């Protein structure tokens, strides 16, 4: 009974996670997203999760549901054989080997989450239920003899009898689940034609179209604050571009990494002069950001912001910045210094700049500006002075359409979007 209870609880949790994933893909916020380091959505949107979805056809929540339902079916079968006083050795082996596979998957997914530096609360509960099932299987079904790996492997085909049909059945709802990467913004030397832009918007999935509608609606209702705009220190594109993006990021923020990647695609997709991007910094560490309370102790986030400030105005700024986000999972202070000094800036120059009070004042300028918008997490994106908080990397189609429309919010590119909720 314990096996059935654990597997059924895991199945229900997987269903809930899948529903939460759909909310995230539609531009919403997951219930289990509490901060930049305790956030289910960042784990679900990670490169690892995207690769799993691409390779198996199922999001990780779908794989969890497949495993849980298979475990539940095997558990019910074992209960039935026990009640009928029939031979249970073969099915018990299947339960054990399925529990062992669940245990190994927990290690794999847990390591991937740890490398990301983000805790997924619901994933942790899934691990606990899965590990509980494996422990119950090996302890509760043990006959006192030595573990026979050959017998365990013979139980695998019995488990696959349930697992394979379940996998195939779940491929259909999985096909309706948008992946973490949004629609691709194709590179165009001089910008796409009007027909190509209209085709792009016509091919948005329902979820992508809804996210774009929400982004447009949020932009329309967002106020332009009467805040003294700080001087620009680094900018891509012209100051008078019709679409002007200011993005506040944290060097260890997973959504910030995705935003930077999306903006790099956007640069290649829109006509020259139609877009400007101004990077700003909001490290999520009390060491340099008083709003965040006590310092974290590793110094990576504050140093990451200061390193970027020290590179402002240098030709390698954008390349090094991309490398910082690409190497996010491995970033520590030494890695930061190595990347920052890899293209020309010397270590003594960088050390002097990082320690300079002017650098701290420059960072405070960004933090104060973001706080004026009541920022509650990164990234914060300002589009022509209006805040687009919470959507971050999902803003691609909206920014693409706005840039192609030269900033005209009521352009026909947006005409067929669904109503915003």
What topology is assigned to 2-175 in CATH? de novo design (two linked rop proteins) (1.20.1440)
DSSP-derived letter for residue 237 is: S
Nearest to 209 by CA among 403, 410, 398: 398
- Give Dmax (Cα) for the chain: 81
pLDDT of residue 189: 66
Phi then psi for residue 213, to 5 deg, are -65, -40
Cβ atoms of residues 79 and 141 within 8 Å: no
Cβ atoms of residues 368 and 334 within 8 Å: no
Cβ atoms of residues 409 and 216 within 8 Å: yes
Give the separation between CA 418 and CA 226, rounded to whole angstroms: 32
Question: What tokens does 369 get?
Answer: 């500006």
Q: What are the residue boundaries of the structural domains of the chain, listed by start? A: 2-175, 194-414
pLDDT of residue 418: 92
* Torsion sign (Cα): 312, 313, 319, 322: positive
Helix (H) or strand (E) holding 244, with range, is strand 243-249
Instruction: Mention every residue, 6+ apart, whose C-beta is less than 8 A from residue 52.
Output: 58, 59, 60, 63
User: Do the two domains 2-175 and 194-414 of this chain adopt the same fold?
Assistant: no
Nearest to 214 by CA among 384, 25, 19, 34: 25
Cβ atoms of residues 311 and 320 within 8 Å: yes
Q: How far is CA 10 from CA 4, 48, 311, in A?
A: 10, 22, 48
pLDDT, tens only, 195-230: 999 999 998 888 788 889 999 999 999 998 999 999
Nearest to 280 by CA among 240, 252, 251, 241: 251
Phi then psi for residue 236, to 5 deg, are -100, 130
User: Burial code of 153-162, b = ≥16 C-beta within 10 A, e = fewer?
Assistant: eebbebbbeb
* pLDDT by position in tens, the chain (length 421): 788 899 999 999 999 999 988 877 665 667 887 766 788 887 887 778 888 888 899 999 999 999 999 999 999 988 887 778 777 777 888 888 888 899 999 999 888 888 777 789 999 999 999 999 999 888 877 765 545 566 667 778 888 988 999 999 999 898 878 776 555 666 666 678 999 999 999 988 887 888 899 999 999 999 989 999 999 999 999 999 999 999 999 999 888 988 999 999 999 999 999 999 999 999 999 999 999 888 988 899 999 999 999 999 999 999 999 999 999 888 999 999 999 999 999 999 999 999 999 999 999 999 999 999 999 888 999 999 999 876 777 899 999 999 999 999 999 999 999 998 7
Cβ atoms of residues 25 and 137 within 8 Å: no
pLDDT, tens only, 324-363: 999 988 899 999 999 999 999 999 999 999 999 999 999 9
Phi then psi for residue 387, to 5 deg, are -80, 135
pLDDT of residue 188: 65
Give the separation between CA 170 and CA 68, rounded to whole angstroms: 13
Phi then psi for residue 62, to 5 deg, are -70, -40
DSSP-derived letter for residue 234 is: -
What's the pTM value of the predicted model, to 2 decimals?
0.71
What topology is assigned to 194-414 in CATH? Glutaredoxin (3.40.30)
């Amino acid at each position: 009974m314990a096996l059935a209870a654990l597997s059924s609880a895991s199945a229900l949790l997987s269903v809930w996670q899948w529903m939460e994933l759909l909310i995230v893909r539609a531009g919403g916020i997951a219930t289990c997203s509490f901060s930049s380091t305790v956030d289910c959505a960042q784990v679900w949107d990670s490169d690892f999760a995207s690769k799993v979805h691409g390779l198996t056809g199922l999001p990780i929540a779908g794989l969890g549901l497949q495993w849980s339902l298979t475990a539940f079916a095997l558990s019910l079968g074992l209960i039935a054989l026990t009640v009928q006083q029939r031979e249970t050795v073969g099915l018990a082996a299947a339960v054990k080997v399925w529990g062992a596979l669940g245990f190994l998957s927990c290690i794999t997914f847990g390591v991937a989450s740890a490398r990301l530096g983000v805790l997924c609360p619901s994933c942790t509960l899934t691990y606990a239920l899965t590990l509980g099932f494996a422990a119950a299987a090996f302890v509760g079904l043990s006959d006192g003899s030595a573990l026979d790996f050959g017998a365990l492997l013979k139980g695998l085909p019995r488990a696959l009898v349930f697992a394979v049909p379940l996998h195939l059945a779940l491929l259909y709802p999985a096909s309706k689940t948008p992946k973490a990467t949004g629609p691709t913004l194709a590179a165009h030397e001089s910008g796409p034609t009007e027909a190509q832009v209209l085709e792009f918007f016509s091919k948005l999935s329902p979820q992508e179209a809804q996210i774009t509608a929400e982004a447009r609606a949020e932009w329309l209702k967002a106020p332009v604050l009467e805040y003294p705009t700080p001087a620009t220190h680094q900018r891509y594109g012209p100051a008078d571009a019709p679409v002007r993006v200011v993005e506040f990021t944290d060097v260890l923020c997973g959504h910030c990494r995705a935003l930077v990647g999306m903006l790099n695609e956007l640069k290649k997709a829109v006509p020259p002069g139609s877009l400007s991007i101004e990077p700003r910094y909001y490290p999520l560490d009390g060491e340099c950001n008083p709003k965040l309370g006590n310092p974290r102790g590793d110094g990576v986030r504050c140093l990451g912001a200061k390193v970027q400030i020290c590179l402002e105005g240098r030709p390698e700024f954008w390349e090094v910045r991309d490398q910082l986000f690409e190497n996010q999972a491995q970033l520590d202070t030494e890695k930061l210094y190595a990347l920052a000094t890899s293209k020309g800036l010397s270590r003594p120059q960088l050390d002097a700049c990082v320690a300079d009070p002017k650098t701290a004042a420059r960072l405070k300028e960004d933090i104060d500006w973001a706080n004026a918008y009541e920022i509650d997490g990164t990234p914060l994106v300002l589009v022509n002075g209006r805040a687009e908080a919470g959507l971050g990397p999902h803003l691609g189609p909206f920014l693409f359409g706005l840039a192609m429309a030269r900033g005209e919010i009521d352009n026909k590119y947006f005409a067929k979007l669904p109503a915003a909720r």
